[in-house]
A and B are shown apart, each in its own frame.
Chain A
C-alpha cells in the first residue's frame, strides 16, 4: 500500500543530543512537510520541500534541520539548539497543488 512511514513512534532525547526523525513516502509526491504539534494546539510548520535538494523554512525552523536527498525521504533533525523539543511531530506529503496532504502516524519526542 502507498503511504507515509514515520519512525520511530516514540523517541527520547538527552540534553545536548541531536536526534533524527525519519519520514519515508512511496506516493511519488514531490512536496513534503514537517509539522510540530503541542498538546491542545494546531500544527505549526517547521520545514517544507517542494522538490529534491531544495527546502524552505517554515514558521518555527529554529533548532531544526532537514535534508531532501531523495524524493522518497525527508528526515528531520532536532538539534541541541531546540530547547523545548517535547512535542508530537507529523510528516506529510502532497501531490499536485490543492490536493490534500497525506500524513504519517507521527513521532512523539520527549526529553529524558
Chain B
C-alpha cells in the first residue's frame, strides 16, 4: 500500500510571495514518480510538476519547483511569486493513482 500525507488543509499567501505546500509519502517501491496537480474550483485537474525518485536534481517548471528529500520521503511544492490565479486545491500523488487529501491555497491581494 502507498500513503500520501498532506498536513496543511488550508494555506494563505500574500500575492507575489512564495509558498511551500508539504507532502510526505510512504512507498515500498524502489522506483517511483511524484506528481503535483492543481484543481481550481471548476474541478478539472491540472498537472504541474513531476519528480522521479532517481532524479538527482529537484524538478522545476516555471514558478513551480519541487523540494525533494528522498531519505525523508518528502516532496514539497514551492510556488514562487504567487498570483491570484494560484488560488486552488493542490494534490500530491505518487505512482500516478495514489493521491493525498490536498491543500487549499488562497492568495490574498
Residues of A within 8 A of B (CB): 33, 35, 40-45, 48, 58, 88, 90, 92, 94, 97-98, 100-106
Contact = CB atoms under 8 A, between A and B. Distances in A.
Give the top 10 A-B pairs by smallest Cβ distance, nearest first. A100-B47, A103-B45, A42-B99, A43-B99, A42-B101, A98-B33, A45-B97, A106-B43, A105-B44, A42-B102
B30 to A, nearest CB: 14
B45 A90 contact: yes
Nearest to A58: B97
Given A43-B91, A98-B33, A106 B97 contact: no
B50 interface: yes
B35 interface: yes
A88 B96 contact: no
B101 A100 contact: no
Contacts of B97: 33, 35, 43, 45, 48, 58, 101
Given A42-B99, A58-B97, A101-B47, 12 more contacts: A35-B97, A41-B101, A42-B91, A43-B91, A43-B93, A44-B99, A48-B97, A90-B43, A92-B45, A100-B47, A103-B46, A104-B44
Contacts of B4: 42
Given A43-B91, A58-B97, A100 B50 contact: yes
A55 to B, nearest CB: 13
30 contacts: A33-B96, A33-B97, A35-B97, A35-B99, A41-B102, A42-B100, A42-B102, A43-B45, A43-B93, A43-B99, A44-B99, A45-B98, A48-B97, A58-B97, A88-B43, A90-B43, A92-B45, A94-B96, A98-B50, A100-B37, A100-B50, A101-B45, A101-B47, A101-B96, A101-B97, A102-B47, A103-B45, A105-B42, A105-B44, A106-B44
